[in-house]
Chains A and B, each alone.
Chain A
Amino acid sequence: MSAASLEAPATDAAASKGSRSRQGTRSLVPLYIATFVIGIGLWAVAGMIADNPLIPSPLSVVVSGWESILDGTLWEHTSASLLRVLVGFGLGVALAVPAGFLMGWYWLVRGLVEPWIQFFRTVPPLALIPLVIVILGIGENARIFVIFLASFLSCVIATFQGVKNVDVTLINAARVLGAKDLTIFARVVVPASTPFIFVGMRTALGSAWATLVASELVAAPSGLGRMMQAASQFLDTETIMVGILMIGILGFAMDRLLLLVERRLTAWQEVRA
C-alpha cells in the first residue's frame, strides 16, 4: 500500500529529476572523460619513467584482464565475490531495516538492542574474523557472515535514525485524520524514513565490499580477493590491478544503481544532498 502511494511522486519526480541530471550530464561528462584519459595517461607515463617490471602499464593490465576473461578465470572469481557481497549485503539489509524500525518504534526493543549495536559498531567487522573462523569454520558461511555483519551494522543505525527523525507533526496530522498505530507506521513512518534507509543501504554496500577482500584472504577457493592474493605470491601485479579495477567497477556500478532507485523513491524531498 505504500508502494501505491509512492508511485505518483516517483513518476512526477522522474520528470523533474530527468531534466536536472540531463543538465548536469551536459556540462560534466566531458570532464569525466577527460579526467579518466588524463589519469590513465599519467599512469602510463609513470610506468615508463619508473621502468620497473612490477609497475604494470595500463596496456599490460588490459591484456592481462582480457586473457583472464578469455580463460574464464576472471568470471569465476568475480561471480564468487559478487555472490558473497550480494548475499551478505542482502541479508544484512533485510534484517537491518525491520530491526531499525523496531528500535525506533518500541522503546523496549531500543533499550535492549541499541547498546549491542553501538558496541559492535565500534569493532571493525574484520576484527571478528578470527572468532568467526573458530565458530563457523573457514567455509563460505564465515565469509558471508562477516559481510552480512558489516552491512547490517551500517544499515541498522541509519534506519533507526530515520524512524527517530520522523516529524512529529506528520504523525499528529495522521492521527487527527483518524490513523491508528499500524497505519501511521505503514503510511507515515516508512515513507518518511526511506531517505535514511537508502543512506544506510549505500553505506552498507560500501562496508560489504570493504570486508570482502579480507574475508577471502582466508582459504577461499575463489573470489577476487583470493585471485589477488595468489597473484601477489607470483609478483603478478597485472592481475592484482585487474582485481582492484573489478572491485572498483562493481562497487561503483552497484552504488549508482542504488542511487538511481533512491532518487526515484525519494524525489519528494525538499532538499537533496
Chain B
Amino acid sequence: MTALISVQEASKIYQTSRGTTVSLDRVSLDVEEGEFITLVGPSGCGKSTMLNLVAGLITPTSGSVLVRDEVVTGPGPDRGVIFQQYALFPWLTAQENVEFGLRLQGLSKRDRAQKARHYLELVGLKDFANALPKELSGGMKQRCAIARAYAVNPSLLLMDEPFGALDALTRVQMQEDLLETWSRDKRTVLFITHDVDEAVYLANRVVVMSARPGRIKEIIDVTLPYPRNEELRLSPEFAELRARVWRGVHHRD
C-alpha cells in the first residue's frame, strides 16, 4: 500500500532582503492512511512550512509532495487546515464561519445551519453561534476554527498548534475529543505542537524536527495502544517515550 502523504526530498528556501532561509532541507516523510502524526521541534524549524506544503498553500523549492499519489498543486477541501493564527473571518459570526465551507459544498441553508450548530456544540460553542470573532476569547476562536475545519469533513486534518491557546483543562478535553473523532472517522491527522506531552499522547508517530536548516531529526514510534486515557499519562512507558522526544527536541548534536 502506498502512503497517503508522501513528502519526497522536499526543500523550501525563502529569499528575503535579509538573506536566504532554508526553511526545509530535503525532508522526506511518508504518512499512511489513518495515522496520527505529531510534529515537534523548536520554533522556526519549519513545522508550519511542512504543513503548508501538504496543504498545497506553498510549493516546494525542490523535491515533491504527493497526496494519494498525486502531486499537490493547490489546496482542496479534502485537506482541512487549522491555522496557527485562527484565521476566522472577522465579519462573520461563529456559525457563519463554520458554514463557510459548507456553503461552498452547495449545502442548503437549512442543512448548513444544522451541521454548523452540531460542530459548534461539539467544541462547546453552542451559546456563541451568533458571536463575532472579536467577542470570542483566544481559546474560543481556536475552537471555532476547529469546528470550521471539522465541518467540511476532510479525510486529512492538518493542524498547526491548534490547542496552543487553550487552558490546560480545555486542552485535555480537546485532545480527548480529537482522539475520539479520529478513531471513529478514520481520519489522518498531521498535528503540530510545542508540547512534548501532547505530542506523545496523541500520536502513533512523533516526528522530531531540528532548525537551521529545517530537517527531520528523528521519528519516534509511539507503541502505546489506543484508545488512550488519562491514566496512560502516568504510566512508565509514557514517561519513557516523553523523555525520548524531549531529548530529541532539546539535544543538539
Q: A residues engaging B (CB < 8 A)?
A: 5-6, 8-9, 12-13, 167, 169-170, 172-179, 183, 187-188, 191-192, 194, 266, 268-270
Question: Chain B: how many interface residues by the 8 Å CB criterion?
Answer: 30
Q: In the bound complex, what is the Cα–Cα distance between A183 and B106 (angstroms)?
A: 13
- When each residue 72-88 of chain B gets 1 if its CB lies under 8 Å from chain A and 0 otherwise, what string results? 00111101110101011
Chain A residues with Cβ below 8 Å from B77 are 176-178
Chain A residues with Cβ below 8 Å from B79 are 176
Chain A residues with Cβ below 8 Å from B234 are none
For residue B182, CB closer than 8 A to chain A, the reply is no
Chain B residues with Cβ below 8 Å from A188 are 89
Chain A residues with Cβ below 8 Å from B89 are 170, 173-174, 188, 191
In the complex, the answer to whether B75 meets A175 with C-beta atoms within 8 Å is: yes
Query: 17 A-B pairs, CB-CB below 8 angstroms?
Result: A5-B91, A9-B93, A169-B87, A175-B74, A176-B55, A176-B79, A176-B80, A177-B77, A177-B104, A178-B104, A179-B104, A183-B104, A188-B89, A268-B92, A268-B133, A269-B90, A270-B134
Chain B residues with Cβ below 8 Å from A187 are 100
In the complex, the answer to whether B83 meets A169 with C-beta atoms within 8 Å is: yes
Chain B residues with Cβ below 8 Å from A167 are 87
| Chain B 81-124 residues near chain A, CB threshold 8 A | 81, 83, 85, 87-93, 96, 100-101, 104-105
For residue B148, CB closer than 8 A to chain A, the reply is yes
> What are the 10 tightest A-B residue pairs by CB atom distance, in nearest-first order?
A177-B101, A178-B77, A173-B87, A268-B91, A176-B81, A169-B87, A178-B104, A176-B75, A191-B91, A175-B75
For residue B222, CB closer than 8 A to chain A, the reply is no
Partner of B92, one of A5, A169, A172, A179: A5
Known contacts A5-B96, A8-B96; is-contact A178 B91 (Cβ 8 Å): no
Q: In the bound complex, what is the Cα–Cα distance between A191 and B75 (angstroms)?
A: 22
Q: In the bound complex, what is the Cα–Cα distance between A176 and B54 (angstroms)?
A: 11
Residue among B76, B85, B87, B88 with the most chain A CB within 10 A? B87
Q: In the bound complex, what is the Cα–Cα distance between A177 and B89 (angstroms)?
A: 12
For residue B29, CB closer than 8 A to chain A, the reply is no
Chain A residues with Cβ below 8 Å from B57 are 172, 175-176
Chain A residues with Cβ below 8 Å from B74 are 175
In the complex, the answer to whether A178 meets B105 with C-beta atoms within 8 Å is: yes
